[in-house]
Amino acid sequence: MGKAYELKPKRVPRVETKYRRIVTDIPAPGSIPTLELLERTEPIAMRGQPPVIWDHAKGFQVYDAYGNCWIDWSSGVLITNAGHGRKEVVDAIVAQAQKPLLTTYCFPTETRAQLVEKIASLLPEPLKKVFLLTTGSEAVECAIKICRTHGVKVGGRAKNVFVSYEKAFHGRTLGAQQAGGIPVLKEWIINMDPGFVQVPFPDGYYCEDTSFAHFEKCLADAGVTPDRVCGVMLETYQGGNGSFAPPEYMKQMRKWCDKNNVLLVCDEVQAGFGRTGTLWGFEHYGIVPDLTTFGKGISSSLPMSAVAGRPDLMDLHPPGSMTSTHTGNAVCCAAALASINLVVKENLAENSRKLGEILHRELHKMQAKYPEIGHVAGKGLVAGVTCAKVGTKDPDGDLAFEVVNKCIQKGVLMFSPVGLNNSTVKIAPPLVINEEALMESLGVLDEAFREALGR
């Protein structure tokens, strides 16, 4: 999958600006013992990210312990929508921890009640019941379970086909990976469930036919009739390259699901809480799903996820049958409530929208400048810049890796390239970033492309 980063420090030009500071070799020589310790004691699968040891973070900046400071284009991994280390979030965590009440299983707490009420109040009808979990994968598994339960209820056990999309990522557990559309991540699964079916995502790039008729044709080609489908799930935008489906496609999907008694699921684990320039990513489509999953940006910090849906769907399972050991953890709930309040109070979705217009304008300028940028996608403060061999759609993971590596060396922090053959440079700064810092970091990206291409 990904490429390994060298642990040998490489001399890089020193940087000192208002928002960036690189004063050591990268990786910092002082960090090598810790990086080597991690290599000895963790599985190789954990070695995929740039060798920067985070020490602390604030707002849209990340610091190590050796004097270096980066503009953060990762938000962790799209987590810190309200910004890193916000005092309001820290204070909420500390207050809950000092109560002290750290764990409750499913016993009721006031904090949990306040959080689910807050989320439900911000969601449109009929998404008015909220189930708290810990990870995005767990939320996706729950959505699959509800879809199949509902399918059996309304159509018998033959109504069990769960449709999702090629190139999609929904998590790393068994059901989530079978619903995902990345074949290499499924190689470990010996007995694939034939009830999981993927169709092309209408991104207009890898899949040029964005008509809803194409969805119906692909389903028919897979031998699936609508009466057998229990659910259709898509990432609101595909995390691997930042692509959205056409709004008209989604409107027709909503009608098709209604007609065939199929549940529509929008996976908002990456898209929710203002990331795309609206509070919920599905707002761009002018539709409301039956179920939606949340994670990452829900708390700007601690592990928390959620499933929200129609009350009749959320109540399909009886008491005690749809729980999790850490569901609604009091400390995580306090963090999430504080973070959501910041997103709403500071109108961070609008900041994402405004700065997103600048971000995507400048990225399209770069695309015109560098033909090696095959595709630019996203909305708000999320973007995917896909690298490809000139004149083709053949993914160029080597170029994407080199661009990210050079950005790290210049003081802009990103996670490793994602998407097909790891060819997409993913941009996702905290929603509190300002225009000056955004433009500065875009300048760094331009430099990185120019140098990586030898221009």
Which residues span the domain enclosing 56? 15-82+349-452
213 part of a folded domain: yes
5 part of a folded domain: no
pLDDT tens string 233-272: 999 999 999 999 999 999 999 999 999 999 999 999 999 9
pLDDT tens string 303-319: 999 999 999 999 999 99
State the pLDDT at residue 284: 98
Same domain, 76 and 93: no
- What is the distance of C-alpha 258 from the center of its chain? 27
- For the entire predicted model, the pTM comes to 0.95
Domain count, the chain: 2
Same domain, 67 and 144: no
Quick one: pLDDT band at residue 7, thresholds 50, 70, 90? confident
pLDDT tens string 194-237: 999 999 999 999 999 999 999 999 999 999 999 999 999 999 99
1 part of a folded domain: no
Which residue reads 């018998």 in tokens? 156
Same domain, 42 and 174: no
Quick one: pLDDT band at residue 402, thresholds 50, 70, 90? very high
Q: Which CATH number fits the domain that encloses residue 201?
A: 3.40.640.10
State the pLDDT at residue 455: 87
CB neighbour list of residue 354: distance below 8 Å, 6 or more residues apart: none
Cβ count near 358 (within 10 Å) = 14
pLDDT score of 1 more than 70: no
Same domain, 264 and 142: yes
Same domain, 187 and 52: no
pLDDT score of 2 more than 80: no
3 part of a folded domain: no
- The rounded mean pLDDT for the chain is 96
For residue 92, which of 335, 391, 268 has the smallest C-alpha distance?
Answer: 335
Going across the sheet that includes 382-387, the strands are: 373-379, 382-387, 424-427
Contact of 22 with 14, CB cutoff 8 Å: yes
CB neighbour list of residue 275: distance below 8 Å, 6 or more residues apart: 78, 81, 281, 297, 352, 380, 381, 382, 428, 431
pLDDT score of 5 more than 90: no
Q: What average pLDDT does this structure show over 279-298?
A: 98
Same domain, 146 and 55: no
Same domain, 126 and 255: yes
State the pLDDT at residue 6: 83
pLDDT tens string 128-152: 999 999 999 999 999 999 999 999 9
Instruction: Identify the domain boundary among 307, 322, 345.
Output: 345
Token pair, residue 354, equals 């405004």
State the pLDDT at residue 4: 76
Token pair, residue 84, equals 């890193």
- CA 379/CA 381 separation, integer angstroms: 6
Same domain, 304 and 425: no
112 part of a folded domain: yes
10 part of a folded domain: no
Same domain, 236 and 299: yes
pLDDT tens string 92-126: 999 999 999 999 999 999 999 999 999 999 999 99
Quick one: pLDDT band at residue 405, thresholds 50, 70, 90? very high
Same domain, 37 and 173: no
Three-state DSSP string of the chain: CCCCCCCCCECCCCEECCCCEECCCECCHHHHHHHHHHHHHCCHHHHCCCCCCCCEEEECEEECCCCCEEEECCHHHHCCCCCECCHHHHHHHHHHHCCCCCCCCCCCCHHHHHHHHHHHHHCCCCCCEEEEECCHHHHHHHHHHHHHHHHHHHHCCCCCEEEEECCCCCCCCHHHHHHCCCHHHHCCCCCCCCCEEEECCCCCCCCCCCCHHHHHHHHHHCCCCHHHEEEEEEECEECCCCEECCHHHHHHHHHHHHHCCCEEEEECCCCCCCCCCCCCHHHHHCCCCCEEEECHHHCCCCCCEEEEECHHHHCCCCCCCCCCCCCCCHHHHHHHHHHHHHHHHCCHHHHHHHHHHHHHHHHHHHHHHCCCEEEEEEECCEEEEEEECCCCCCECHHHHHHHHHHHHHHCEECCCCECHHHCEEEECCCCCCCHHHHHHHHHHHHHHHHHHCCC
State the pLDDT at residue 3: 80
pLDDT tens string 31-75: 999 999 999 999 998 989 999 999 999 999 999 999 999 999 999
9 part of a folded domain: no
- CA 5/CA 3 separation, integer angstroms: 7
Q: Which CATH number fits the domain that encloses residue 27?
A: 3.90.1150.10
Q: What average pLDDT does this structure show over 431-446?
A: 98
Beta-bridge partner residues of 168: none
Instruction: Identify the domain boundary among 318, 345, 372.
Output: 345
2 part of a folded domain: no
pLDDT tens string 161-188: 999 999 999 999 999 999 999 999 999 9
Same domain, 215 and 103: yes
pLDDT tens string 83-92: 999 999 999 9
State the pLDDT at residue 426: 98
Instruction: Identify the domain boundary among 329, 345, 361.
Output: 345
pLDDT tens string 351-375: 999 999 999 999 999 999 999 999 9
Same domain, 326 and 415: no
Gyration radius of the chain over CA positions: 22
- CA 381/CA 454 separation, integer angstroms: 29
